[in-house]
Amino acid sequence: MKRASGILMHISALPEEYGMGTFGECAYKFADFLKSAGQSYWQILPLGHTGYGDSPYQAFSAYAGNPYFIDLVLLEKENLLKKIDFETIDFGINQEEVDYDKLFENRLKVLEIAYQNGKEQLGQQIDVFKEKNKLWIQDYAMYMAIKYKTGFLSWQEWDKDIKLRDKKVLEKYKKELKEEINYWIFVQYLFFKQWNALKTYVNNLGIKIIGDIPIYVSADSADTWANGKFFKLDADKNPTTVAGCPPDAFSDTGQLWGNPIYDWKYLEKTGYKWWINRIRESLKLYDIVRIDHFRGFEAYWEIPFGDATAERGKWVKGPAIKLFDAIKAELGEIAIIAEDLGYLTQEVIDFRNETGYPGMKILQFAFSTKEESTYLPHNYNKNCIVYTGTHDNDTTMGWVNTTGVKKEINFAKRYLKLNKREGYHWGFIRGAWSSSANIAIAPMQDFLGLGNAARMNLPSTLGGNWKWRMKNEMLTKDLSKKIYRLTSLYKRVGVGDGSPK
């Protein structure tokens, strides 16, 4: 892993015209901005089809992409839409916030028009796409078709015959909902066509994409419905235990995620094929995969199903290195970043070291006055990724002005020599960029010096998250030059080879 840097900026936050960021013109402009700023990496959040709560970490599928990211203007250029089909529709009028309710109401209706216009002329290409993605596409499309037929109920509330995937009932729905199933396949065809074109453009600029995958899948997902045997479910396919994490700096009662827990004993008997397939498919989307909650492979926090908080959970041993040995044997050496934040035992540290994957250092966590922190830059080894903060942190200026502890802020000011003339956010970025970590990354909000209102997510809360959008005029030549100068000063300009190893 060579010395380089990048920017964390999710697709949804791009300043596209119709409600939220997409794979359209603004994404290409942002890639150009990264290049002019001397960056080697574009990090994004998961691209999955988001469900209840709009979190990219709770998706309807481990494989399917978010239909909201499909750019309507590109569809117009391909004669799948006319301008009149979408230009007067209300997708949300606030340029600085995503309105997910409006998108839910209106976006898929526009894609339905594209489907009717393109289903015959694109039939052959869609058949090829179906064959390439046969691992997951049919189950996902049927799941979505049934979900809409049932009034968007979770699959665990469906009639028992289809919930338990009775073969005769599956065949019945396959015929009855043929058109709806084909629509969802068409939507995924558009998603992957546009994403692959954007990724090719980004890679041709010499920039690699770091993509995020959650360790768990959603309880309400095509994966748990179609592959229940891989999870700890009872005879009626209800979870027996669910995932989360214990009380920590983010929450006094822990985080209750609610995702079903993997049946690791069964997965081991299958040679971990489900996880191997998931990593293989993710590497088609991204150049480097950051696995969220990596410590959960060594030991995970298991909470009794039905608990209101995560407090009564317990640590249970996971597959650890056995899983990654199996992945390596099948896929070879692959580019993975281990999100190793939270409570770390020596066993977790030894496990991560055994994999050889770089871990993460969060500068915002470095300034506890209670003890010497491993997040302080003078304690880094080179094989790590340093962040000013992540999507779960406040922005740097939000931390300084709103959510930080005064003693910690004062320590940060002394350690990083922060001053108002430079800007506290630039001081944090300088601290990351000047460190010994091989890769340094900061969220776009920190480069813009934005406060608490631009925070992406507040863990353990539902509603109000994942909404921030950047204004178009914020991407200036002056900003790209300033980032380039800093990046050049600390010898990180454009030398990333795409591999964190």
Residue 238, pLDDT > 50, answer yes
| Per-residue pLDDT tens over the stretch 99-131 | 999 999 999 999 999 999 999 999 999 999 999
Task: Give yes or no: 372 in active site.
Answer: no
| Pairing status of strand 384-387 against strand 439-443 | parallel
Q: How confident is the model at residue 498 (pLDDT cuts 50, 70, 90)?
A: very low
Give residue 317's pLDDT band: very low, low, confident or very high (50, 70, 90).
very high
Closest listed residue to residue 276, CA positions, set 213, 335, 222, 326: 326
Dump pLDDT digits (tens) for 402-454: 999 999 999 999 999 999 999 999 999 999 999 999 999 999 999 999 999 99
Strands lying side by side in the sheet with 241-245 = 255-260, 241-245, 299-304, 314-317
CA distance 389 to 247: 20
What is the C-alpha to C-alpha distance for residues 329 and 306, in angstroms, rounded to an integer?
Answer: 38
Residue 303 pLDDT > 70: yes
* 225, pLDDT greater than 70: yes
Of all residues in the chain, what percent carry a pLDDT higher than 90? 91
Q: How confident is the model at residue 90 (pLDDT cuts 50, 70, 90)?
A: very high
166 catalytic, yes or no?
Answer: no
* Angle at which helices 424-433 and 406-416 cross, to 10°: 60
Report the pLDDT value the prediction gives residue 4, as an integer from 0 to 100. Answer: 98
* Closest-CA residue to 114 (of 162, 79, 64): 79
> Do β-strands 299-304 and 241-245 pair in parallel, antiparallel, or remain unpaired?
antiparallel
pLDDT at 501: 45
Q: Would you state the pLDDT for residue 342?
A: 80
pLDDT of 147 reads 97
Q: Which residues contact 110 (CB under 8 A, 6 or more apart)?
A: 72, 81, 85, 86, 89
Residue 449 tokens read as 């010096």
pLDDT band at residue 250 under the 50/70/90 scheme: low
Q: Using a pLDDT cut of 70, give the percent of the chain over it.
A: 98
Report, in angstroms and rounded to the nearest whole number, the Rg of the chain calculated over CA atoms: 22
Residue 497, pLDDT score? 43
Q: What is the pLDDT of residue 46?
A: 97
Predicted TM-score (pTM) of the model is: 0.96
Active-site entry in 54, 220, 287, 292: 292
Whether 249 has a pLDDT exceeding 70, the answer reads no
Of 339, 340, 394, 408, which residue is the catalytic one? 339
- Which pLDDT tens digit goes with each residue over 10-46? 999 999 999 999 999 999 999 999 999 999 999 999 9
Burial of 182: CB neighbours in 10 Å, binned 0-12, 13-18, 19+? middle
**What 3-state DSSP class applies to 7?**
strand
Q: Which of 220, 392, 408, 446 is catalytic?
A: 392
Q: Looking at residue 464, what DSSP letter applies? A: S
339 is catalytic: yes
Residue 84 DSSP code: G
CA torsion angle 254 257 263 267 (round to 10): -110
Q: What is the mean pLDDT of the chain?
A: 95
Model confidence pLDDT, tens digit, residues 39-69: 999 999 999 999 888 999 999 999 999 999 9
> Side chain identity at 382, as an amino acid letter?
K
Residue 124 near residue 112, CB atoms below 8 Å? no
The pLDDT, as a whole number, for residue 344 is 87
How would residue 281 be classed by pLDDT, with cut points 50, 70 and 90? Answer: very high
Structural tokens at position 12:
């949804």
* Token duo for residue 344: 């770390």
Taken in order 341, 261, 130, 146, is the CA torsion positive or negative?
negative
- Report the pLDDT value the prediction gives residue 34, as an integer from 0 to 100: 98
Give residue limits of the domains in the chain.
Answer: 227-357
Alpha-helix residue ranges (DSSP H) falling in 150-272: 160-163, 167-176, 178-204, 222-226, 264-269
Contacts (Cβ under 8 Å, ≥6 apart) of 153: 147
